[in-house]
Amino acid sequence: MNSCCVLGLGYIGLPTALLFADAGVKVLGVDINQNIINNLNNGINHINESGIENLLKNNLKNNNLKISQKVSFADVFLVTVPTPFLKSGDINIPNLDYINSAIDSIIPFLKKGNLIILESTVPVGTTESIAKKIYKESKFQKDDIYIAYCPERVLPGNIIFELKNNERIIGGINNESAQKGKYFYKKICKSKINVTDSKTAELTKLTENAFRDINIAFANELSLIADKLDINIYKLISFTNNHPRVNVLKPGCGVGGHCIAVDPWFLISEFKEESKLLKSAREVNINKPFWIIQKVEKYLGKLDNKLSIKIGIFGITYKPNVNDLRESPALEIAKYFLEKYQVLICDPYIQTHSEFKIHSIEETLANSHLLIFLVEHNEFKKINPKNKVLFDFCGIFENE
Ligand code: SAJ
């Protein structure tokens, strides 16, 4: 398996393609976005992750990596395209259009003995339906093509390291497919690769993120109760976590990013009767930003000069110490206050924004009477909020 075609050069596809190229595999990286292709071919990458730049330049130079809009023949096809969801009433349903068009583009180039691996987060059973689609739309049958599911579990901000070092799971439509996939991933993964069937691997991925969503919802719900009792939630959690078997996560301003807020819906939409806890956890996390707005406006409502008060908002990214704004609840909160009040916004990881000015930490601190901390960036921990009205929704000043 010396050649691989990676379809989808996003947060997961590009780093994965680069690591296989760096391991000596001849990689063809394919994307539908011509801009991405032009930039990558000029050594410019759109993923702000350490290590990407060098891997890209080195592997373009040594010809292990080609970037194109067109699929071609390869021993292995790796599908890392997005699986967004569509709103349907009070639930969201997965949209597999990108997956299906990726498979459509592979079929004309399939040869007997090829391995197809799906990495995108999908509803359970998708890998098996892809196999059926291939048998129906190509001349190949059951044992001609190996097909497996191998989800990623990397933390944005540390992707290259985690791709190399995290344990992985791979599930095949049969054992041969899983073993072939395991052999292929051993080229980039130094840790254990667990082998199973495709449905178990698909549910493993969804379980990991749903588990995290529920635990974050628990912390967020607890923060509402502690607030009513005028108890510092972050102090409370530091005490509870002294218990050897308790690990309460940190309440924030909601759940952002394109994974934790999305993946539970793959189960909720399919197992409506069985997923009550998953759905209520989603509702708790979706509600947290509105609770924050309500709490600050309750305070502002008591002031005569609420429209002249200057509000400083600290942090708009979806999680601490990254520059990623995808589905960020903090950004939505900031935009809400910007509409109604005098607001300065600062975030050390975001230099500019198309809709508003980004101020420096010093400027925001000096010119605001009321401070709202939404994201626990390390840079904020040096701030002394003295003589200011402070709303800390992310535990920056937990020990104050
Ligand atoms: N959050 C909290 N409190 C916490 C932890 C997180 O409010 O204690 C919030 C964050 O601020 C953020 C959201 O939840 O808005 C998600 O943050 P995250 O730390 O879960 O990070 P993601 O979404 O970037 O990555 C997750 C990871 N999944 C797990 O940790 C189980 C990562 O391993 C997955 O690979 C990734 O989703 C994914 O791509 O599926």
pLDDT tens for the chain, 400 residues long, are: 899 999 999 999 999 999 999 999 999 999 999 999 999 999 999 888 889 999 999 999 999 999 999 999 999 999 999 998 888 888 788 899 999 999 999 999 999 999 999 999 999 999 999 999 999 999 999 889 999 999 999 988 899 999 999 999 999 999 999 999 999 999 999 999 999 999 999 999 999 999 999 999 999 999 999 999 999 999 999 999 999 999 999 999 999 998 899 999 999 999 999 999 999 999 999 999 999 999 999 999 998 887 889 999 999 999 999 999 999 999 999 999 999 999 999 999 999 999 999 999 999 999 999 999 999 999 999 999 988 999 999 999 976 6
Which residue's CA is minimally distant from atom 3 of ligand 1?
A: 250
The Å distance, Cα 215 to ligand 1 centre, comes to 11
Ligand 1 atom closest to the CA of 12, numbered from 1: 39
Which residue's CA is minimally distant from atom 39 of ligand 1?
A: 259
Regarding the beta carbon of 255 and ligand 1, being less than 6 Å apart is answered yes
**For 247-286, b where at least 16 C-beta lie within 10 A, e where not — what string?**
ebbbbbbbbbbbbbbbbbbbbbbbeeeebeebbebbebbe
State how far the Cα of 94 lies from the Cα of 87, in Å rounded to an integer. 9
Q: State the chain's maximal CA–CA distance in angstroms.
A: 75
Which 3-state string (H, E, C) describes 154-166?
CCCCCHHHHHHHC
Instruction: For residue 75, give the nearest of 183, 168, 192, 189 by alpha carbon.
Output: 183
Contact present, 327 and 156 (Cβ < 8 Å): no
Q: Which residues, listed in sequence order, are joined to residue 313 by a DSSP beta bridge?
A: 345, 372
Q: Is 236 exposed, middle or buried (0-12, 13-18, 19+ CB in 10 A)?
A: middle
Counting ligand 1 atoms within 8 A of each CB, the residue from 208, 260, 323, 332 with the most, and so the one to mutate, is 260
Predicted confidence at residue 110, as pLDDT, reads: 98
Predicted confidence at residue 168, as pLDDT, reads: 97
The Å distance, Cα 347 to ligand 1 centre, comes to 19
Residue 259 appears among annotated catalytic residues:
yes
Contact present, 323 and 297 (Cβ < 8 Å): no
The Å distance, Cα 266 to ligand 1 centre, comes to 17
Regarding the beta carbon of 257 and ligand 1, being less than 6 Å apart is answered yes
Which residue's CA is minimally distant from atom 20 of ligand 1?
A: 260
Q: Is 351 exposed, middle or buried (0-12, 13-18, 19+ CB in 10 A)?
A: exposed
Amino acid identity, position 370? L
Contact present, 30 and 74 (Cβ < 8 Å): no
State how far the Cα of 355 lies from the Cα of 326, in Å rounded to an integer. 15
How many Cα atoms sit within 13 Å of 97 on the Cβ side?
5
Which residue's CA is minimally distant from atom 13 of ligand 1?
A: 255
Residue 394 appears among annotated catalytic residues:
no
Q: What is the DSSP string of 303-328?
A: -TTTTT-EEEEE--SSSTT----TT-
DSSP state of 49: -
The Å distance, Cα 340 to ligand 1 centre, comes to 30
Regarding the beta carbon of 332 and ligand 1, being less than 6 Å apart is answered no
Q: Is 382 exposed, middle or buried (0-12, 13-18, 19+ CB in 10 A)?
A: exposed
Which residue's CA is minimally distant from atom 14 of ligand 1?
A: 255
State how far the Cα of 320 lies from the Cα of 318, in Å rounded to an integer. 7
Which residue's CA is minimally distant from atom 7 of ligand 1?
A: 252
Question: Which listed residue (4, 5, 253, 259) is catalytic?
Answer: 259
DSSP state of 212: H
Q: Which residues, listed in sequence order, are joined to residue 372 by a DSSP beta bridge?
A: 313, 391
Contact present, 344 and 313 (Cβ < 8 Å): yes
Ligand 1 atom closest to the CA of 157, numbered from 1: 24
Predicted confidence at residue 308, as pLDDT, reads: 85
Regarding the beta carbon of 212 and ligand 1, being less than 6 Å apart is answered yes
Q: Is 62 exposed, middle or buried (0-12, 13-18, 19+ CB in 10 A)?
A: exposed
Question: Which listed residue (180, 182, 205, 279) is catalytic?
Answer: 205
Would you state the structure tokens that stand for residue 136, as one six-digit string? Answer: 């129906």
Contact present, 27 and 172 (Cβ < 8 Å): no
State how far the Cα of 117 lies from the Cα of 106, in Å rounded to an integer. 12
Ligand 1 atom closest to the CA of 328, numbered from 1: 15
Predicted confidence at residue 305, as pLDDT, reads: 83
Distance of CA 174 to the CA centre of its chain: 29
Q: Where are the alpha helices (DSSP H) in the chain?
A: 13-22, 34-41, 52-61, 97-106, 126-137, 159-165, 175-185, 198-228, 233-240, 264-268, 276-301, 329-340, 361-366
Predicted confidence at residue 182, as pLDDT, reads: 98
Contact present, 371 and 390 (Cβ < 8 Å): yes
Regarding the beta carbon of 119 and ligand 1, being less than 6 Å apart is answered no
Computed on alpha carbons and rounded to an integer, the radius of gyration of the chain in Å comes to 23
Predicted confidence at residue 153, as pLDDT, reads: 92
- What's the pTM? 0.94
Contact present, 334 and 341 (Cβ < 8 Å): no
Predicted confidence at residue 400, as pLDDT, reads: 61
Would you state the structure tokens that stand for residue 276, as one six-digit string? Answer: 């009550």
Contact present, 391 and 356 (Cβ < 8 Å): no
Regarding the beta carbon of 395 and ligand 1, being less than 6 Å apart is answered no
Regarding the beta carbon of 259 and ligand 1, being less than 6 Å apart is answered yes
